[in-house]
């Protein structure tokens, strides 16, 4: 069994597409019209045939409540691994990304958390 697809709820797919590609550096893999919304996925440029991240429209009231609660409580919706967290933190700060926490050691890993502009907190970590 393998993980091939995971998702993150976003309040605006176009805004999410810009943030996840132009700011974070992911590459768009799928962009298929699905009525009012799109089947929109991004991948790491380093591993384009591995795990896809679906940028899911947050059109369900229950999902909106859940997303807002996670954000308010400071709980990340997803986590991404990086090779050099301090360099990545500096690169993202330069692009205007709002960080909730600076890189810090936490039980054998270094972590930092930022806002994705689409209603989520994202944690990045370095092992």
**For 53-66, how does the pLDDT look when each residue is reduced to its tens digit (9 = 90+)?**
999 999 999 999 99
**CA-based radius of gyration for the chain:** 14
Give how many domains the chain has, as a whole number. Answer: 1
pLDDT digits (tens, 9 = 90+) for 67-88: 999 999 999 999 999 999 999 9
Write down the pLDDT at residue 95: 98
Domain containing residue 96: 5-126
Place of tokens 């380093």: 46
Contact present, 53 and 39 (Cβ < 8 Å): no
State residue 95 phi and psi, 5-degree precision.
Answer: -85, 5
Can you give the pTM of this predicted structure?
0.95
Retrieve residue 71's tokens: 């954000």
Phi, psi at residue 13, to the nearest 5°? -65, -35
Taking the C-alpha atoms of residue 108 and residue 117, their distance in angstroms, rounded to an integer, is: 29
Query: Domain with 40 in it: what CATH number?
Result: 3.10.180.10
Residue 94 has, within 13 A of its CA and on its CB side, a CA count of 8
pLDDT given at position 114: 98
């Amino acid at each position: 069994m393998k993980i091939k697809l995971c998702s993150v709820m976003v309040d605006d797919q176009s805004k999410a597409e810009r943030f996840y590609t132009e700011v974070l550096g992911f590459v768009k893999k799928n962009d298929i019209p699905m009525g009012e919304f799109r089947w929109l996925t991004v991948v790491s440029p380093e591993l384009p045939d591995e795990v896809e991240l679906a940028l899911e429209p947050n059109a369900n009231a229950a999902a909106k409540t859940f997303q807002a609660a996670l954000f308010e409580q400071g709980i990340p919706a997803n986590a991404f691994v990086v090779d050099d967290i301090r360099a990545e933190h500096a690169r993202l700060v330069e692009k205007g990304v709002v960080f909730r926490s600076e890189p810090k050691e936490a039980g054998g890993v270094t972590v930092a958390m930022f806002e994705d502009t689409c209603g989520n907190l994202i944690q990045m970590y370095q092992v």
